[in-house]
């Protein structure tokens, strides 16, 4: 499965990215995959390849490109609980400077780049996000309703906050089919209920479920949070969503 390194022009420079896609010269539905807080690394490359094997062109940008190419910080092969505090001490300044304004400006650039690749079909795309990437994915889908036909978020950062721009307040702008897969500790029950109420009120075609026995980060095989059965359940939800939303467009 071919992969290649790319550079995406943005308002603030160039974002490095990786792409995975089927070989053979045909065009395929596009998927924009937003990383978790640990960044673009081998586990995300493998997830992109897995998606590409199902017939998608998958673009994975380095959201922290303003601070350097991926990997922006040195990461061990396995991110265990004992080193998480030290890793997040390095990551938090990067996360804090990735503002909503920057995220939306970058999303414009990522979608423009993705949809103009010769291997990508001229149709709406899917946006997938993990951890902090789920927040960005929701904002991207809300800001580009005509371009995003499918939205998936897994073990997201909080999607319900008191902020005027909380992701759950944006769902009325979406036209995408949506799936959200939460870990048991991602959001309190009241917040999950409020999220579902917002999606219901907006008339969004969605599913939202809590993966039992999981903690935040359950899809990432290079962390202690990894849960193999939950990762499989994630694929069991994600692939039909993409097939339904993108196949006939």
pLDDT of the residue at 161: 96
Between 100-115 and 132-143, two packed helices, what is the crossing angle to 10 degrees?
Answer: 70
Contact of 131 with 217, CB cutoff 8 Å:
yes
pLDDT of the residue at 248: 57
pLDDT of the residue at 23: 87
Q: Which has the closest alpha carbon to 30: 112, 108, 149, 121?
A: 121
At 190, list the tokens. Answer: 């009241």
pLDDT of the residue at 206: 98
Q: Which CATH architecture describes the domain 3-246?
A: 3-Layer(aba) Sandwich (3.40)
pLDDT of the residue at 249: 47
| Per-position b or e across 6-39, b if 16+ CB within 10 A of its CB | bebebeeeebbbbbbbbeeeeebbbbbbbbbbbb
138: three-class secondary structure by DSSP: helix
Q: Average pLDDT across each block of 10 residues of the chain; the chain has 249 residues. List them in order.
A: 91 98 92 98 97 97 98 95 96 97 98 97 96 98 97 98 96 98 97 98 98 97 98 98 85
Q: How far is it, in rounded angstroms, from Cα 114 to Cα 116? A: 6
The domain ranges of the chain are: 3-246
Sheet of 57-61, strands arranged across = 3-10, 13-20, 57-61, 30-34, 125-130, 148-154, 177-182, 206-210
């Amino acid at each position: 499965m071919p992969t290649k390194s790319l550079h995406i022009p943005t308002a603030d420079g160039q974002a490095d990215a990786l792409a995975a896609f089927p070989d053979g010269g045909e065009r395929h539905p596009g998927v924009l995959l937003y990383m978790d807080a640990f960044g673009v690394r081998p586990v995300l490359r493998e997830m992109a390849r897995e998606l590409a094997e199902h017939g998608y062109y998958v673009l994975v940008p380095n959201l922290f490109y303003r601070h350097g190419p991926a990997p922006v910080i040195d990461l061990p092969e396995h991110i265990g609980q004992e080193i998480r505090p030290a890793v997040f001490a390095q990551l938090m300044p990067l996360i804090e400077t990735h503002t909503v304004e920057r995220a939306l400006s970058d999303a414009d650039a990522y979608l423009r780049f993705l949809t103009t690749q010769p291997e990508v079909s001229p149709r709406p795309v899917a946006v997938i996000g993990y951890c902090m990437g789920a927040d960005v994915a929701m904002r991207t889908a809300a800001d580009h309703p005509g371009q995003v036909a499918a939205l998936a978020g897994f073990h997201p950062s909080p999607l319900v906050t008191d902020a005027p721009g909380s992701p759950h307040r944006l769902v009325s702008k979406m036209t995408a089919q949506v799936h959200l897969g939460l870990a048991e500790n991602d959001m309190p029950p009241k917040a999950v209920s409020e999220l579902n109420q917002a999606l219901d009120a907006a008339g969004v075609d969605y599913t939202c479920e809590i993966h039992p026995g999981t903690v935040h980060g359950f899809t990432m095989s290079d962390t202690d949070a990894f849960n193999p059965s939950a990762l499989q359940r994630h694929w069991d939800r994600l692939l039909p969503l993409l097939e339904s939303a993108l196949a006939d467009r």
